Structure 1
Amino acid sequence: MKEIRVPELAESITEGTIAQWLVKKGDKVEKGDPVVELETDKVNVEVNSDHAGVLTEILSEEGDDVEVGDIIGKVDENAEAGEAPSEEKEKPQEETKQKEAPAKKEEKQEEPATETSNNTQDVVASPAARKRARELNIDLGSIRANDPLGRIRPEDVEAAAKGESEKKAEKSAKKEAPKQQEKTEFDKPVERVKMSRRRQTIANRLVEVQHESAMLTTFNEVDLTAVMKLRSERKEKFLEKHGVKLGFMSFFTKAAIGALKEFPYLNAEIQGKELVLKKFYDIGIAVSAEEGLVVPVVRDADKLDFAGVEREIGNLAEKARENKLGLNDLQGGTFTITNGGTFGSMLSTPILNAPQVAILGMHNIQKRPMVMPDDSIEVRPMMYLALSYDHRIVDGKDAVKFLVRIKQLLEDPYDLLLEG
């Protein structure tokens, strides 16, 4: 019998939750086949089988929390699909032998016997212990012997069974607790839904950021008349030439990079008693996925042209929707842009994406009457911008001037597009 263990995932990830089993008990698997999907703090990963055979045991069910190294299933290399584990197939024959032997004779035959365990090492156990292990459906290879000679006795099997029973009882108690609370806390019907691991992580980190940073938000508004006119003029040729649509995100990404170059403290982070001023521009783009908000990163966005930015954002958004983002897609990032306007938000105060010290919030575009320099009134497509920043690093003056610079770049975007 071979084990399926939770593999090493990443340096910062030590545990996860079983999202779903991709095969059923009794199914045949090949070496390298994905057998279970594991939800971690950041992404979902597939765990592959290191062995070919039949999945005979599932030790962790969907929704269970597991840690790196935990055994979550077992594969029998000698079984056929739909068959019982090889140990169970031997059971009738061995039971017949036990019945034929007198009870007293069995007691005298307390001699060491060898049985192959799931880790291919020999297990020494008495016939009575083997029989009791079969009755309780306990794998001898998982039992620790107390005998000085390493021989497993019936009492060792009983102790292992008791331990398994206590674990199951504890899990059952945890599942029943919410039901009991539901009966006592509320007079009217409620529904309790377990938070996904990713949602729990998001919740914890958002609270941590507000506790550990001096977060402040400044606002401005931008007239998008020129951007919308430029998009209208260039969108067909842009699509024909590059195979991707010219959207708003490339304008905002390029404007943010231009402003970051002028105000480098907004592209920094605190490490101990030092400020780390980053000379590269990996821009995080917040994307709403089924399990919650994720922030994939456009690497070296300053080196990409508008088409490159649009293409990369589109690829990352598609991977987020299909739950195919990898850890490398999410790690790092020097500055984040979030677009609440996609859902109709008029104004908000975005929360920092630690350890970054600033985040730009976009919002809904609304036509509003605006007083022009010659005192005439025109209807213009306006958007409120919000910049949240860590006041420990960024002074209010620089934050306001940074947002004003973004506004200026967006209200005169032709040079921005030409220079890329």
Structure 2
Amino acid sequence: MAIEVRVPEMGESIVEAVIGNWLKREGDAVSAGEALVELETEKVNIEVAAEQSGVLERILKREGETVSVGEVIAVIAEGVAAEAPAARTEAEPARPVAEPQPVAAEVSAAPAERAAPAEAPGVRATPAVRRLAEEYGVDLRQVPASGEGGRITREDVLRYVAQQREAVAAPAGGPNGTTTAPPAAQPEPAAPPSPPPVAPATAPAAPAMVPAMAVDGRREERVRMTQRRKTIAQRLVEAQRTAAMLTTFNEIDMSAVIELRRRWRDRFRERYGVSLGFMSFFTKAVVGALKAFPMLNAEIQGDEIVLKYYYDIGIAVGAEEGLVVPVVRDADRKSFAQIEREIEELARKARERRLTIEDLSGGTFTITNGGVFGSLLSTPILNPPQVGILGMHKIEERPVVVDGQIVVRPMMYVALTYDHRIVDGREAVQFLVRVKELIEDPEQLLLEA
């Protein structure tokens, strides 16, 4: 009996995905619940698991292809797991993989010798990354890791491949008179040469990174956009095309919040197990301002304005594959400690690529903090269908006039981008002034909380 593997429902507004990496190949035995393939969506990457045990009989969609929810992407043959080894030795898998060019002389070793490095039992890497390393003949133990907790990512492998190819292609003296490493020793003559690459019947998706060396030595590389990056690009352009975006600015004296954090930071961590950061103050201030100016907590649906009297605040996080906006739900009902814990957990999940569709769905208003990267001032772009986004920036000591005296204070520029179709300038300016008032007098926040 054949079992169809379909693209699952993936949550709010997601109707398609891109085949990322097949974790199994045709002829592989699979168990119920075992991951078969990674799908790249506009929000998160997800794994599709086998619903029943059997053998992966056919792969219908290749890596890089776009698929829709409900579409059949593979077929599992039920009850023939014992035949899997024979099937794989007698017939070439239908999913062809092009043999990449060697990245160093050691890759010219026999296939049996080449497969071992990718196993690298002491290395932290996903099965997909290990498969990629095996295809390129890369020893994972030599690849610098940039992922959380020393995990090697797909980009780490591709970067290593590019560096090795560049080293092999460079002239003996090296560019600018530098000395390059000597080529690795050639294999023993007795060792059989590696078979030449066999062109596949259907070309697989191109690697994410394809370095190219121009004749004059000026290097370029092409990087395939991920589904998330393509979606980010499309949505930002769509937001600018469909919304009447306008940005208003103000500045906030952060002295009171900084002093409050200084006095309570240690006791707060001892009691709640989490740091008292700036984001909880701004989240609470935004909720207070949204209650005073509800039009900024709305969205447009056709000819109607939908006012929302719940406060799900999106917190923009710069993840490895692109910006994501996980949501702190019911922020008005949460304490400072609960908000800080939730933001910390969402940021950790973003770094470890564990965010779910539920974490990213919805949101009535967004806060983005470019200050953590050193931004002094920016104009944030709306996160549709929301009509407001607050941009925080770097805190810098600047001379300001207070009660007729020039004093130095820690100041932060803040920016509010809003949809002028339903939010007037007066409301937007007053909203930002209200945020400023609440941050500069944090006791008001404690009373409202």
Q: Which whole-Å deviations, capped at 9, do the CAs of 1:284-318 have from their partners, x for residues lacking one?
A: 11111111111111111000011111111111111
Residue 347 (structure 2) aligns with: 317
**CA distance in 1 between partners of 2:289 and 2:316 (Å):** 19
Question: Given the superposition, is the C-alpha separation of residues 322 and 385 from structure 1 closer, same or farther in structure 2, using an over 3 Å criterion?
Answer: same
**Counterpart code for 2:20:** A
Residue 308 (structure 2) aligns with: 278
**CA distance in 2 between partners of 1:357 and 1:380 (Å):** 32
Alignment of 1:5-404 (within 5 A): 5-10=6-11, 12-76=13-77, 77-80=79-82, 83-85=85-87, 189-373=219-403, 375-404=404-433
> Given that residues 285 and 337 in structure 1 are in contact (C-alpha distance below 8 angstroms), is that contact kept between their aligned partners in structure 2?
yes
**CA distance in 1 between partners of 2:206 and 2:268 (Å):** 55
> Given that residues 39 and 45 in structure 1 are in contact (C-alpha distance below 8 angstroms), is that contact kept between their aligned partners in structure 2?
yes
Q: Which whole-Å deviations, capped at 9, do the CAs of 1:155-197 have from their partners, x for residues lacking one?
A: xxxxxxxxxxxx966x67x969x99xx999x996421111111
Question: Given the superposition, is the C-alpha separation of residues 5 and 219 from structure 1 closer, same or farther in structure 2, using an over 3 Å criterion?
Answer: same
Question: Given the superposition, is the C-alpha separation of residues 260 and 65 from structure 1 closer, same or farther in structure 2, using an over 3 Å criterion?
Answer: same
**CA distance in 2 between partners of 1:195 and 1:405 (Å):** 40
Percent identical residues: 59
Question: Given the superposition, is the C-alpha separation of residues 16 and 84 from structure 1 closer, same or farther in structure 2, using an over 3 Å criterion?
Answer: farther
> Given that residues 370 and 378 in structure 1 are in contact (C-alpha distance below 8 angstroms), is that contact kept between their aligned partners in structure 2?
yes
Greater shift in the superposed pair: 318-327 or 215-224:
318-327
Q: Compute the RMSD of aligned alpha carbons.
A: 2.8
Displacement of 1:45 after TM fit?
1.3
> Given that residues 306 and 417 in structure 1 are in contact (C-alpha distance below 8 angstroms), is that contact kept between their aligned partners in structure 2?
no
Q: Which whole-Å deviations, capped at 9, do the CAs of 1:121-153 have from their partners, x for residues lacking one?
A: xxxxxxxxxxxxxxxxxxxxxxxxxxxxxxxxx
**Counterpart code for 1:379:** V
Give the TM-score, by structure 1 length: 0.74
Displacement of 1:378 after TM fit?
1.9
> Given that residues 213 and 220 in structure 2 are in contact (C-alpha distance below 8 angstroms), is that contact kept between their aligned partners in structure 1?
no
> Given that residues 56 and 84 in structure 1 are in contact (C-alpha distance below 8 angstroms), is that contact kept between their aligned partners in structure 2?
no
Displacement of 1:12 after TM fit?
2.7
**CA distance in 1 between partners of 2:305 and 2:385 (Å):** 11
Question: Given the superposition, is the C-alpha separation of residues 217 and 229 from structure 1 closer, same or farther in structure 2, using an over 3 Å criterion?
Answer: same
**Counterpart code for 2:411:** M
Q: Which whole-Å deviations, capped at 9, do the CAs of 1:37-75 have from their partners, x for residues lacking one?
A: 111112111101122123354443433322334443343
**CA distance in 1 between partners of 2:83 and 2:359 (Å):** 38
Displacement of 1:320 after TM fit?
1.3
Q: Which whole-Å deviations, capped at 9, do the CAs of 1:216-254 have from their partners, x for residues lacking one?
A: 000000010000000011111111111111100000000
**CA distance in 2 between partners of 1:8 and 1:84 (Å):** 35
Structure 1 unaligned spans of 5+: 90-166
Displacement of 1:356 after TM fit?
0.8
The total of aligned residue pairs comes to 336
Q: Which whole-Å deviations, capped at 9, do the CAs of 1:293-349 have from their partners, x for residues lacking one?
A: 111111110000111111111111111111111111111111110000111100000
**CA distance in 1 between partners of 2:88 and 2:401 (Å):** 83
Greater shift in the superposed pair: 13-22 or 353-362:
13-22
**Counterpart code for 1:80:** A
Q: Which whole-Å deviations, capped at 9, do the CAs of 1:350-372 have from their partners, x for residues lacking one?
A: 00111111100000111112222
Residue 414 (structure 1) aligns with: 443
> Given that residues 317 and 347 in structure 2 are in contact (C-alpha distance below 8 angstroms), is that contact kept between their aligned partners in structure 1?
yes
Displacement of 1:396 after TM fit?
0.7
> Given that residues 79 and 85 in structure 1 are in contact (C-alpha distance below 8 angstroms), is that contact kept between their aligned partners in structure 2?
no
> Given that residues 230 and 414 in structure 1 are in contact (C-alpha distance below 8 angstroms), is that contact kept between their aligned partners in structure 2?
no
Describe the SS at the equivalent of 2:42.
coil
**CA distance in 1 between partners of 2:425 and 2:201 (Å):** 56
Residue 114 (structure 1) aligns with: none
**CA distance in 1 between partners of 2:4 and 2:87 (Å):** 13
**Counterpart code for 1:38:** L
**Counterpart code for 1:20:** N
**Counterpart code for 1:43:** V
Displacement of 1:34 after TM fit?
1.5
Question: Given the superposition, is the C-alpha separation of residues 68 and 87 from structure 1 closer, same or farther in structure 2, using an over 3 Å criterion?
Answer: farther
Structure 2 unaligned spans of 5+: 92-199
**Counterpart code for 1:243:** G
Residue 161 (structure 1) aligns with: none
**CA distance in 2 between partners of 1:378 and 1:265 (Å):** 37
Describe the SS at the equivalent of 2:389.
strand
Displacement of 1:86 after TM fit?
9.3
**CA distance in 1 between partners of 2:302 and 2:17 (Å):** 29
**CA distance in 1 between partners of 2:231 and 2:88 (Å):** 42
Displacement of 1:417 after TM fit?
2.8
Residue 124 (structure 1) aligns with: none
Describe the SS at the equivalent of 1:191.
strand
> Given that residues 288 and 448 in structure 2 are in contact (C-alpha distance below 8 angstroms), is that contact kept between their aligned partners in structure 1?
no
**Counterpart code for 1:407:** K
